[in-house]
Structures are given as structure tokens and as C-alpha cells.
A = this chain, B = another copy of it.
Amino acid sequence: MKLYVVGIGPGEAAQLTPKAAAALTHCQVVAGYSLYLSQIEPLLEGKERIATGMTGEVERCSLAIQAALSGKTVAVVSGGDPGVYGMAGLVLELAASHPTLTVEVIPGVTAATAAAAVLGAPLGHDFVVVSLSDRLTSRGSIEQRLRLAAQGDFIICIYNPASHTRPDTLQWACDILLKELVDTTPCGIVRQVGREGESSTILTLRQLRDTAVDMSTTVIIGSRSTKVLGNRLVTPRGYRDI
């Protein structure tokens, strides 16, 4: 019995891998947050669907596992890469008590690298990926990670910078970072990466602090070597002969 966890990439069909498309074509049942299912609508014709709201993850994955155990081929769909704040971990946790079930995780282009490509090449050296969602992680733990990342001169990529219930989390995070980094640290934001209406802005950390973002925004905060070249954000790898 087989269950796929499929990363669909940032959104546009051109960034969905053939391997992910093949799994979606092959399966009889798809489960996923309705926004992600709507992004791959042309691939889902005639398939049974398990769609619940954003916070229904455990229920949705449990239903997907039940469908797979009943003998159907099932795909759980995640935006971006399913292993980066996606459904892969939860599915594997829930599937652990069903040894007859084979789970295959199919990776996708994650928002960090999709957003970086729009901005230029800000992730060109060692970086961290941090979610600001405090639904499943304490604020203290997020604060410590941001502080250590800045102290280590990592580039910082932020997922889930805001939501309806926490509109000010990015401001809070910037205030932590401004204790370690200079005001002029180059940063970039990408809204709706890989989707219709995609837009990007390059700005300083001080400006970022006072910028409104939503849950569909990916934020990148530069390291000490990140720079703005023309209209692109770049962290050089460090080739000495240029």
C-alpha cells in the first residue's frame, strides 16, 4: 500500500517536477489544503479529494492514511517542499503504526530558494531557515534561534512571517535581529512567489521592520557579506579572483 507526500513547488505548473506530476497522475485520492489543490487543479480531474482548512492537518493526514490502508493510491499535497514546514513529518509520524504502508516523499522547490532566485542570489552562503509561527513552537525558542543565527553571520530566511492572529511577528523578529545586525543590513521580501501577482522588494533591515507582510510572503535577511548589486540581492560565495 502506497502513500505519496508530494511537493508541488512554489505554485506555477512550470515549477512542479515531472516526478511530482507523475505521482499526482498515478494516485486516485488527493489530500491537501484547498489553496494547494487549486494550484494543481488540471492534474486532479476525476480524483477523490480530502480537503480541510489550514489547521486541519492532523485530520486530513489521518483520512489520507485511512484511504491508503483501504487499498487506494493516495497523494498528500504540500506547497513547496513537503519536508520544509510541510506534511511529510506528520504523515510519517501517523503512518509509523501501519508497517504495511509505504510512504514516499517527493521533494519540491521550496519557497526559500524560489524567493532567492527572484531576488538574485541572497542564499549564496551558509543560511538558516526559521518559521515565525508560534502555533507549534515557543516564542522563546524562535527568539534564541534568530539571535544565534545573526551571531553566526548566517543569511536568514523566514517562513510564515505573519498571520491574521499575529500581524506583528516580523516586527518582533526584526527588533531581535536589530540588536545583532546593523540597520542597513540588506534584506529582500517576495510576495506570492511563483504565483500570479508575484512581487519583490529589496530593502534595509530597518525598513523591513516597518513593512507589512502576510503569510504568503517569504523574507530573506542578509549576512554581513550580502550586498545589493543593481536591483539584485547577492551574497558572494567568496571567489577571491574577481
Contacts and interface: CB of A to CB of B under 8 A. Distances in A.
Interface of A: 7, 9, 12-19, 22, 57-58, 81-85, 88-94, 96, 99, 103, 105-110, 113-114, 116-118, 120-131, 136-137, 141-142, 144-145, 148-149, 151-154, 229-230, 232, 234-242
B128 A127 contact: yes
Copies of this subunit: 2
Contact of A121 (B89, B114, B118): B89
Contacts of A120: 88-89, 92, 105
B113 A81 contact: yes
Q: State the majority secondary structure of interface residues on A.
A: mixed
B109 A107 contact: yes
Contact of A88 (B81, B124, B230): B124
A47 B154 CA distance: 38
Contacts of A123: 83-84
A206 B83 CA distance: 25
A5 B92 CA distance: 35
A116 B17 CA distance: 17
